[in-house]
Structure 1
């Protein structure tokens, strides 16, 4: 009897040591301050939840918002600037919440979290592609939503394997399809075969349409339209190397960021080439028209002024008189498809389509100074400097 009692005490002690207390704390949390925790519920020591919780709006990233923390102690805490969903990191930024009543989920292992307005169903992605060790025995990773129709997941790295979309943690309410990376899931459909990697996932609860897309990388800042407007997205074919061509920038500052969120962003003081670091300084840009490349895996970037590009250069182009007081004659041995007149800031002033081997460019209306012409013929082009007296 004593041995059984000791064994029971040992088991209870082990269970208590295993279970971790996870709470929310902050000025916008249910407690309303940074000294009182609101404990979350768990059944597996991994996924923690709170339902029908009222939170307020964060206004200052330095003093307001909320965080998740362990054991009512700041030694282990998680945060991220993203809302209503994201991937929190140890010691990350305050979560900038928006007032409302939410069902909240936090995953202690991978840091993912969602704030879903109460009354909306929860939808997660579930299976070996999410949890390679536990598979369908493990928890799903919750997706975020603001309208209960379109659900998204950003910043999560999948393993190669199968997965379902699962409603309200119900193993009998799963949606799937054989298609990847896009398709239309149906209730009770087959598992989705996911290729390992980082994906930005969207799911439409009404239609079942879903997509696994490469994370977007955009550029924004005062050199474009400011830091509060939408990003100008770069293109990618592999989710690592991103690029954009002929982007006009003014003197100012820019940054790169992922998925239109400050949760992951890159910056540095170097220009026109450098290596951006997470939350690094704004990149100082000189006005011009640029071809830009960015590597998400290491943060390397280049800004190449299109006026300095010499590839595919046209030869046998004549421009005369140059300098001129009135007009320039432009001639080429083959057909000229287009001529662009560009000022010293890289701004295109005029564009012509001669479709002939000769063209007269009238400069009478332009101020004295230096200009450039970009002459295109087929796949080839040339950029030459012209001067107005």
Structure 2
């Protein structure tokens, strides 16, 4: 009996070995330096694979780089972005940057990371009077963020006019500087950077020394846009860091929000459309389909959607809603045909939609709870969002 059990265990173990999947990296920037020689990752669960202290070189174009693949063959392979992401089947070559990395890959969902290896962390900060106008170089750094120990970013910080360095691990012997602003290549022990006061989005590459100070990015996203809810916004442009614009943007019926630097840390929304003042973490903006010129002011949160096909700037000014507040029924009247009415709760969720196709309409609110609601009224290319109240 014991011999039979041992045989079964041995067969199961052999089955697992024979059918475990081999995951490797291959490419001219991989440790092998070749598209014909794989470097295998190791695994203990056939799901998460790792390779420690892998030395990679810099990719110089789309035909260079590396990929993950299964079984030392091309039918199953993954490519994507560097230094982390979710690999896609037959995706682009991963454009690596020279360095030594600890690599992980998840075979179930394709996620991967390249983390610069080494026993000492590389904390990068910005240091100097431009950061701390009172204490100057006696003051502390403002630490930057990183996901790969190579590229560091700082968002949402307001600088004073003055000088600054990039600094590693708070050590005065490890500083980078340059005379160039707002972009340049910093060198170790180089001159201090003369920063112009204001809010900047800062990037710094620890390996190459390349840096940039650019205006914070403002983007729009949501179901009304082609971007959906992310992760990447549709960017607006700016010349002063305060007013941002985008022209001839096609939108569908749906919702949208503005946000800064592709992050939900700072975002604006409101139930007003086509013009209102967005508030931080406000409700989603109810958008009516059309092609718009959009203006957004970062300092105030005010926004304006101007329909490029409308001669009336999309604003209905002569719709009457009465009584408001009401106990049950709201009456809507307009000098033109009311094409549609959408009812939203205070959070921006659609409750009901109507298509009156008439100049008058009654909305029965007897099934609604007491409180504040919003209606979006559409007539031709024009529309308005108004607040209604049930007592």
The TM-score normalised by the length of structure 2 is 0.49
